[in-house]
Chain A
Amino acid sequence: MEHYMMNLTLKVWRQKNANDKGGFESYPVKNISSEMSFLEMIDVLNEELIRDGKDPIAFDHDCREGICGACSMYINGRPHGPWEQNTTCQLHMRAYKDGDTITIEPWRANAFPVIKDLVVDRSAFDRIIQAGGYISVNTGNAVDANAMPVEKDKADAAFAAAACIGCGACVAACKNSSALLFVSAKVSHLALLPQGSPERKSRALNMVAQMDKEGFGACTNTGACEAVCPKGISITNIARLNAEFSLAALVSQ
């Protein structure tokens, strides 16, 4: 692929803290290589801001190889930018051309309050996991691998659901700020496997109850979550969670 340099204009959401009103600031960035990642481009801008004695742009990042789920930018009207099944850190500047203006916003949802600039508090997801995203195992020696038979198609579906990295793009994309794709991936991952069966019913009920408590909206099956998911989590998981939840609620005391 041809290498080229570009000059861009960034419109970035700046907000000092959770209580600050915040607003957009425009920054020209020059001599950006098409081979840089999107976050490296922000790094270049931050180096300049620091050199000028200004506050650098705060943003979440960790592994920078698309597996941790930390990066969370809403770029030109789409979580994680224009590429499909991709995280912001794996978005490369060859997606843009010289002279482009790029608008960068934080995830927007009441359940994900802005902490600073592009960093939002996603601990609501942690509390949903704590409510039921676990299994019980006996202590003692580790069980032999593959001691428990699992059907291949169920193992594959569980693995596909387990690919969720909990980045929150589904919430950011959903018009209702619903977290149901995330919750359904976590519930499906365990509900499909024998290891998850002891808490199968309470898990669906408790995780959905926690999700509601955190202030996420209700799903209306628009499919926006699936379209932006960096791990390609299918909304089929949502239908599975609906069934898991309804059956558990019907038979519970």
Chain B
Amino acid sequence: MKWSEMFTSSIGKKLVMALTGLFLIIFLVVHAGINACIWANDSGEMFNKAAHFMGSTVVIRIAEIGLFLGIFLHIIQGLILEFQNRSKRKQGYAVPMGNKGSKWYSRSMGLLGTILLLFFILHWWHFWVPARFIGHEELTELEINGVHMHNMYNLMQYTFQELWVVIAYVFACFSLCWHLIHGFQSAFRTVGVSNSKYVSLVQNVGIGYSIIISLAFAMMPVSMYLGWV
């Protein structure tokens, strides 16, 4: 079997979703960890240092290319699969099965993923595009221990003064949580975890991971809006 045949088969396509998904799951831990520095109670010094390290280290900049490839592969493959799978039942049922046997979020991965894609566009526009390319009047420069860096903390505080932005971010975190609760355990099943003790481990860790990560991300705009940091 050629590589192309493997990855275009129905299981191969799932495998692409699972492997990119697991990669993104690891990325979210790094992202949440770096961002949690805003709570260091030092007016953003630790956060700005961490953000500067991420933006100025060659290895991480190369990994960033891998990250974008992973995200877009996950998004494009996900949308293709969603439409292909829908097309496999041209005539639907008069009485839908609904929740008889499956959870709403496990059937709504395409919808939840699309909400996240729309959120990413907003999110990149808020932070990644100004930091990398066009700059922003609130993205001031500062110097810590003789090193010049962006004051990303300042840009964050400015961005999260708008209520609608905070609501949009919290809603996206809510979608992320449901997307992860299904995606985490589904990815492990897809890579072949069938042993019952590992399946229950993966399910429980998955729920914990999804809630903690989503809650951590959601609390960032909320704490800035409410002036906690």
Contact = CB atoms under 8 A, between A and B. Distances in A.
A205 interface: yes
Contacts of B5: 249
Contact of B101 (A208, A224, A242): A224
A232 interface: no
B192 A223 contact: no
A48 to B, nearest CB: 23
A103 to B, nearest CB: 5
Given A109-B89, A110-B88, A103 B11 contact: no
A235 B109 CA distance: 19
B6 interface: yes
B88 A221 contact: no
Interface residues of B, number: 44
Contacts of A178: 10, 85, 88
Contacts of A239: 189-190, 192-194, 199
B130 interface: no
A211 B104 CA distance: 26
Contacts of B185: 221
A17 to B, nearest CB: 15
Interface stretch (A31-39, A50-58, A73-81, A88-96): A73-81
B10 A208 contact: yes
B9 interface: yes
Contacts of A77: 93, 95-98, 100
B177 interface: no
B207 to A, nearest CB: 15
Interface stretch (A59-67, A125-133, A169-177): A169-177
B107 A103 contact: no
B36 to A, nearest CB: 31
B101 A173 contact: yes
Interface in B106-120: 106-107, 109
A46 B101 CA distance: 31
A248 B84 CA distance: 25
B199 A211 contact: no
B74 interface: no
Interface of A: 11, 24, 74, 76-78, 103, 105, 108-111, 173, 175-178, 180, 205, 208-209, 211-212, 215-228, 235-250, 252-253
28 contacts: A24-B94, A77-B96, A78-B97, A78-B100, A105-B93, A105-B95, A110-B90, A177-B85, A178-B88, A208-B9, A218-B11, A218-B13, A218-B84, A220-B85, A221-B182, A221-B186, A221-B189, A222-B106, A224-B97, A224-B100, A224-B102, A236-B194, A239-B199, A242-B15, A244-B192, A249-B6, A249-B9, A252-B1
Given A110-B87, A224-B100, 11 more contacts: A77-B96, A180-B10, A212-B9, A220-B186, A223-B106, A227-B101, A241-B11, A242-B189, A243-B194, A246-B15, A249-B6
Interface of B: 1, 5-6, 9-15, 81, 84-98, 100-103, 106-107, 109, 182, 185-186, 189-194, 196, 199
- When A and B form their complex, which 5 residue pairs have the shortest distance between CB atoms, in order from nearest? A243-B192, A227-B101, A239-B194, A176-B85, A77-B95
